[in-house]
Structure 1
Amino acid sequence: MKTNNIMGARKMVILKLVLILALISVGTQALAQSNNEVSFYLQGSFSELDYEALGANSELGNGFGIGAKYAYYISDNWSFGTGAEFQYMEGSIIIPTIQGAFMTQDLEGEEFEFRYQANNFSEKQEVYFLNIPLQIQYESQGMTRFYAAAGVKAGFVLDSKYKSKTLSLQTNGYYPQYDVELTDPEFAGFGEFDAVNGAKSDLNLKTNFVAQLESGIKLMLENSQSLYMGLFFDYGLNDIRPEASGERLIDYNNQDPTFFATGSLLASRSDMNPGQYVDEIRTLAFGLKIQYAFQF
């Protein structure tokens, strides 16, 4: 009788061990099959609308981005990802002197050549993109992992604006029919004028396609969570210059000759050469990226 009880107890112990091992095995398989990762990130950057105008190059500005990403792991080391990203970029340029001339009419309908010289002309651009990325990522194993990612992004312009100004403006009018050049009076729009500021206006940039590189470390946390810290580099693959607006950088208003406004170097037609002041515009951004992720 005692022997039967011992045998029954052994069977119960063995059965419990089998169940425990089965549960551990199922749990391990479930963890191993956590192929889905969702993450949220913030990136701070230097940014630039990269272009050249009248021998001067654009300058770096500030920028930032926030986004959400979904990644699917095809192995322990490789994953594919996509998501949505909101990105802000700045661009700017300063040109010491801009000269121009074009034919127009004065208040009395007389044709003349309006000539100007804008001194210390500056322009700043602000652009907001909605980016849709496609990315492939490699990461090592362990609690602290190295990762590297590459891909492309399509950047849809949500808003793009510019503001330009010149610190001083000199103007005159040449009347070829009389072979006379007028440097005054000011009420006719001829003379020396103080700073001229343009209103913030739409820029209408084109959709942006971007090559993306990223690398850093991934810290594994509890409960299938992780923290990425890395550097990123984005470079525009296409020209996003707006269509020529037909507007002039400095125009003559024959209804109000003392009122001047400044246009955009990126969209205005050139007064000295055919075409626009800018041949092409590409985006550039690089900086630090911090990303929180969890797997399921």
Structure 2
Amino acid sequence: MKTIKNSLVLSFIFLGIIFCNAQQISILANAGMQGLSYKINDGNNKLKIGGRIGVGYTYFLNYHLAIITGLELGAYSNKTTLNDAVYTTDEIDTEGELFEFRVKTKGYKEENKFNAISIPLMLQYRTMGDTQFYFNGGGRVFLPFGQKSNININQLQLTGYYADVNAELSDIPNHGFETFDNWKSTSKTKLNTAFALSAETGLSFELNDNIRLYTGIYIDYGVNDMQKKEQIKTDVPLINYNDNGYSDRQLNSILKTNRISESAKLMAYGIQLKLEFGSRYRGKGCGCY
């Protein structure tokens, strides 16, 4: 949280400097598929619909080129499902006996949500005329916060297999072996700051001398892993073994396990609208009007 606060202070200072020299100010809104993209060993993951709003500042370099920055707030989510399977870890019971803790799931679904403040830095190319083609290319920094995982399982069966006697124990609540139907739980996970390559393209239309409407598409492709590796321990079970029962136990999010086979990277794409206000570039020596 301290890192985010420091980053925001620096961002506002930087944006303040840009704002004082900005030739155009814009407001934007977009919507599309945005969240964490990763492959999972024994299931699948899909992005869900999210969106972003923000303000932007444009500084012209010449007729065709401009630098764009701003401050944005977005909502991101993805849904992970696990195959019906048995997940095992080695545990020790209250008698000091080693056994294989088996977690059998049916209908496992997990929705991961988080918000992020993003700061773009992009170079824009635009054509001339009342209707213009534009292309923005560059990157964004994402500062995530408020991550939450909502977990739903149709059936969760916890058993213990003792190899020395070749026996699997079940339905013994006072030993931590139970079966639950329609289990629901929540989990929170800290995420890394994300860095993404960003591109936007489309058409813009002159509404009057000082207002221009931009329509188009966007994509953000994360280049770093947002999953904090220090939170992950080898063979983390979906639910921790507890011989005193599970009435107050919470499931472990997929983000805290080693079941993700690739980096968890930010991914976003969709459609975007932007209104740009302010004077237009007239060329060297003429300033803006």
Match of 1:287 in 2: 270
One-letter amino acid matched to 1:124? E
Match of 2:86 in 1: 99
Match of 1:253 in 2: 242
* Structure-1 separation of matches of 2:154 and 2:131: 54
- Unaligned segments of structure 2, at least 5 residues: 1-20, 280-289
One-letter amino acid matched to 2:277? F
* Structure-1 separation of matches of 2:60 and 2:80: 44
* Residue 266 in structure 1 maps to residue 255 in structure 2: yes
Provide the identity percentage: 27
Instruction: Indicate conservation of the 8 Å contact 2:50/2:77, yes or no.
Output: yes
Instruction: Indicate conservation of the 8 Å contact 2:173/2:245, yes or no.
Output: no
Match of 1:3 in 2: none
Instruction: Indicate conservation of the 8 Å contact 2:173/2:244, yes or no.
Output: no
Match of 2:214 in 1: 228
Instruction: Determine helix, strand or coil for the equivalent of 1:266.
Output: helix
Match of 2:66 in 1: 79
* Structure-2 separation of matches of 1:48 and 1:177: 45
Which of 119, 122, 129 is residue 132 of structure 1 equivalent to? 119
- 1:143-166: CA deviations, max 9, x gaps? 111111111001111222212222
With over 3 angstroms needed to count, the CA separation of the structure-2 counterparts of 1:55 and 1:179, relative to structure 1, is: closer
* Structure-2 separation of matches of 1:161 and 1:191: 26
Q: CA deviation at 1:232?
A: 0.9
TM-score normalised over the length of structure 2? 0.81
- Unaligned segments of structure 1, at least 5 residues: 1-33, 270-275
Instruction: Indicate conservation of the 8 Å contact 2:86/2:103, yes or no.
Output: yes
Q: CA deviation at 1:294?
A: 1.4
Question: Which structure has the larger Rg?
Answer: 1
Which of 226, 251, 257 is residue 240 of structure 1 equivalent to? 226
Match of 2:156 in 1: 169
With over 3 angstroms needed to count, the CA separation of the structure-2 counterparts of 1:35 and 1:104, relative to structure 1, is: closer
One-letter amino acid matched to 1:249? L
Q: CA deviation at 1:265?
A: 1.2
Instruction: Indicate conservation of the 8 Å contact 1:167/1:194, yes or no.
Output: yes
- 1:224-250: CA deviations, max 9, x gaps? 221111111111111111223445312
- 1:199-236: CA deviations, max 9, x gaps? 2x222111111111111111112242211111111111
With over 3 angstroms needed to count, the CA separation of the structure-2 counterparts of 1:66 and 1:221, relative to structure 1, is: same
Q: CA deviation at 1:108?
A: 4.8
With over 3 angstroms needed to count, the CA separation of the structure-2 counterparts of 1:178 and 1:35, relative to structure 1, is: closer
TM-score normalised over the length of structure 1? 0.79
| Number of aligned residues | 256
* Residue 45 in structure 1 maps to residue 28 in structure 2: no
Instruction: Indicate conservation of the 8 Å contact 1:136/1:149, yes or no.
Output: yes
One-letter amino acid matched to 1:232? Y
- 1:80-135: CA deviations, max 9, x gaps? 11111111111111112232222323355544322221112111111111111110
Question: Pairwise mapping of residues 107-256 of structure 1 onto structure 2 (< 5 A)?
Answer: 107-199=94-186, 201-243=187-229, 244-246=231-233, 247-256=236-245
Which of 46, 53, 56 is residue 66 of structure 1 equivalent to? 53
- 1:10-52: CA deviations, max 9, x gaps? xxxxxxxxxxxxxxxxxxxxxxxx9711111111111231111
The runs of 4+ residues in structure 1 deviating greater than 6 Å are: none
